[in-house]
Amino acid sequence: MTGAPLLAATERAARVKLMIFDVDGVLTDGRLYFGPGGEALKVFDVRDGLGVKRLHYAGVATAILSSRSSEIVALRARELGIVHLRQGVADKAEGFARLLGASGFAAEDCGFMGDDLPDLPVLATVGFAAAVADAVPEVRAAAHWVAQARGGRGAVRELAEFVLRAQRAGASDA
């Protein structure tokens, strides 16, 4: 992205205090693997994990808001230090409202990265809306910023670096 939309996205990213992620298609590539016992397996990118940790180091809180429930997601969240975990959320707008109530953050101080239609209500509400490169067209159109990387393949790391650069630039302007 270039020009005015990038400037607006940078200004929005500079205000993010809580960055929220969808799981399937964002923290993973969206594919589900099933083991012989019927358990769902997911693959996470270690570089995306470091991006989440870098946000924490910079003072940006993180959260997960997902329609599906999975113990592996809870394990990954604990591993990354993600405190706010909302799984099995059929209505993401309602789940987002509950997350705001529990976390104490205002919607305009939040960012959300999504990839598919159930993410649209949250993308329309947050201060900074982001999408992975392979998000459905409606989600890319609703986003203030779109990663060049695909979900589960570095998009979260790319987003984290963008937010951190925006916040460093905002701090130097103060």
What is the length of the chain? 174
Distance CA 165, CA 78 (A): 26
3-class DSSP state for residue 142?
A: helix
pLDDT at 172: 63
* pLDDT per residue as tens, the chain (174 positions): 444 566 599 999 999 999 999 999 999 999 988 888 887 889 999 999 999 999 999 999 999 999 999 999 999 999 999 999 999 999 999 999 999 999 999 999 999 999 999 999 999 999 999 999 999 999 999 999 999 999 999 999 999 999 999 999 866 655
R_g of the chain computed on alpha carbons: 15
Distance CA 107, CA 72 (A): 28
For 146-167, b/e burial (b = at least 16 CB within 10 A) is bbebbbbbbbbbbbbebbbebb
Q: To which H or E segment does residue 81 belong?
A: none
pLDDT at 2: 44
Q: Where are the domains of the chain?
A: 4-173
Distance CA 151, CA 148 (A): 10
Return the structure tokens found at 57: 């180091």
pLDDT at 5: 61
pLDDT at 1: 46
58, 160 in Cβ contact below 8 A?
no
Q: What are phi and psi of 137, to 5 degrees?
A: -55, -40
Domain 4-173: what homologous superfamily? HAD superfamily/HAD-like (3.40.50.1000)
pLDDT at 159: 98
